[in-house]
């Protein structure tokens, strides 16, 4: 009789621990994914602002100024 109760308590503890660990893992993943998304958005915004500062409008067409060095941006890992 006591063995049966012992196994039920053990199984309930295991289920509760698994739920707690699963909830923690899901929470960490959500926070991490949100942080990565924010970093990517900030990098893209900075890159876009840098490019927009070097744009010129000639005859209705956009032209990037010659002093814009795309290779320098690629070397800094700021491009996708």
pLDDT for position 48: 80
- Under a CB-based contact definition with an 8 Å cutoff, are residues 62 and 55 in contact? yes
pLDDT for position 52: 75
Domain boundaries, the chain: 2-75
Residue 57 confidence (pLDDT) above 80: no
pLDDT for position 74: 66
Could you give the 3-state DSSP secondary structure of residue 33?
A: helix
Could you give the 3-state DSSP secondary structure of residue 26?
A: helix
Higher pLDDT, 17 or 63: 17
Could you give the 3-state DSSP secondary structure of residue 43?
A: helix
- Segment 5-54, tens digit of pLDDT: 999 999 999 999 999 999 999 999 999 999 999 999 998 888 888 777 76
């Amino acid at each position: 009789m006591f063995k049966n109760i012992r196994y039920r308590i053990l199984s309930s503890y295991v289920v509760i621990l698994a739920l707690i660990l699963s909830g923690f893992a899901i929470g960490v993943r959500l926070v991490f994914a949100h942080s990565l998304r924010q970093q990517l958005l900030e990098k893209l915004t900075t890159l876009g602002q840098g490019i927009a500062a070097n744009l010129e409008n000639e005859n209705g067409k956009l032209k990037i100024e010659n002093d814009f060095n795309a290779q320098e941006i690629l070397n800094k890992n700021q491009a996708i």
